[in-house]
Amino acid sequence: MIEPTADFVLLEEIETPSTAPGGLIHIPDTAKQKFNNGTVISSGPDAITNLEPGTIAVFPLHSEYRVEHKSKRYILVRESEIMARNPRR
Q: List the pLDDT tens digit at each of the 89 positions of the chain.
A: 899 999 999 999 887 665 556 666 665 666 556 788 999 999 999 999 889 999 999 999 888 999 999 999 999 999 999 999 998 75
- Tell me how far apart the alpha carbons of residues 81 and 13 are, in angstroms, rounded to a whole number: 15
Domain-wise residue ranges, the chain: 8-15+28-86
Answer for the pair 62, 81: CB distance below 8 angstroms, yes or no: no
Hey, CA dihedral for 50, 75, 60, 18, is it positive or negative? negative
CATH homologous superfamily of 8-15+28-86 equals: GroES chaperonin (2.30.33.40)
| pTM summary value | 0.80
pLDDT recorded at residue 88: 73
Q: What is the pLDDT at residue 20?
A: 56
Convert the pLDDT of each residue in 16-29 to its tens digit. Answer: 665 556 666 665 66
- With a CB cutoff of 8 Å and minimum separation 6, the contacts of 22 are none
- Select from 89, 86, 3, 1 the least CA-distant residue to 44: 3
